[in-house]
């Protein structure tokens, strides 16, 4: 790079932009860190709730098995296993009992919560990837780009100051010869 005033001004502008970019990316990094922390806390709460629901669902299933037998519960579970939250329970008053209905509903809640936890884990993973990328950019600006711009500016200033001193010396000598 040729050390001229124009190049000095361009480098100073690039340095200003790099610093602004660094500040913005640093804020984004901190925001991602906070969001990650918040999501991890919420997943802990959901996992505790999941454990509680799992215990309730297992107890309800045991009660249903005690009431209508393990074979009948197994048969009903296979029959209703394709059911989702959006479709109503396929009630047939002659083939199910209250205990089985409660167990079935409890297991639907467990499945729903499991899906919610899986989605949250996926989002946490996405945030971690974003955080790593932003962190790399922040470090690159902080340890590579900004120092390079600063060193270019310093070198250009030194060359321009040297030229200015040389010019001043030449003018002084020329003035002395004229006098």
pLDDT, tens digit, 9 for 90 and up, residues 96-144: 678 888 888 898 899 999 999 999 999 999 999 999 999 999 999 999 9
- Say which residues have a Cβ less than 8 Å from residue 88's Cβ, sequence separation at least 6: none
Q: What total of structural domains would you count in the chain?
A: 1
- For residue 118, being part of any structural domain is answered with yes
> CATH number of the domain that 38 lies in?
1.10.287.3240
Residue-level pLDDT at 93: 47
Task: Return the higher-pLDDT residue of 70 and 158.
Answer: 158
CA distance 165 to 55: 84
- For residue 177, being part of any structural domain is answered with no
């Amino acid at each position: 790079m040729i050390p001229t005033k124009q190049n000095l001004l361009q480098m100073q502008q690039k340095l200003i932009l790099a610093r602004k970019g660094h500040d913005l990316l640093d804020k984004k990094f901190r925001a991602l860190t906070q969001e990650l922390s918040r999501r991890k806390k919420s997943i802990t709460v959901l996992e505790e709730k999941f454990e509680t629901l799992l215990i309730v669902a297992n107890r309800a299933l045991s009660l249903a098995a005690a009431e209508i037998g393990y074979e009948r519960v197994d048969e009903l579970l296979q029959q209703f296993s394709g059911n989702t939250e959006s479709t109503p329970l396929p009630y047939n008053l002659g083939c199910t009992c209250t205990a089985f209905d409660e167990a079935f509903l409890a297991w639907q809640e467990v499945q729903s919560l499991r899906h919610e936890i899986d989605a949250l884990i996926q989002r946490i993973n996405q945030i971690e990837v974003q955080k790593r990328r932003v962190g790399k950019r922040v470090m690159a600006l902080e340890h590579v780009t900004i120092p390079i711009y600063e060193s270019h500016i310093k070198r250009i200033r030194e060359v321009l100051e040297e030229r200015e001193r040389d010019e001043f010396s030449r003018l002084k000598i020329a003035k002395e010869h004229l006098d």
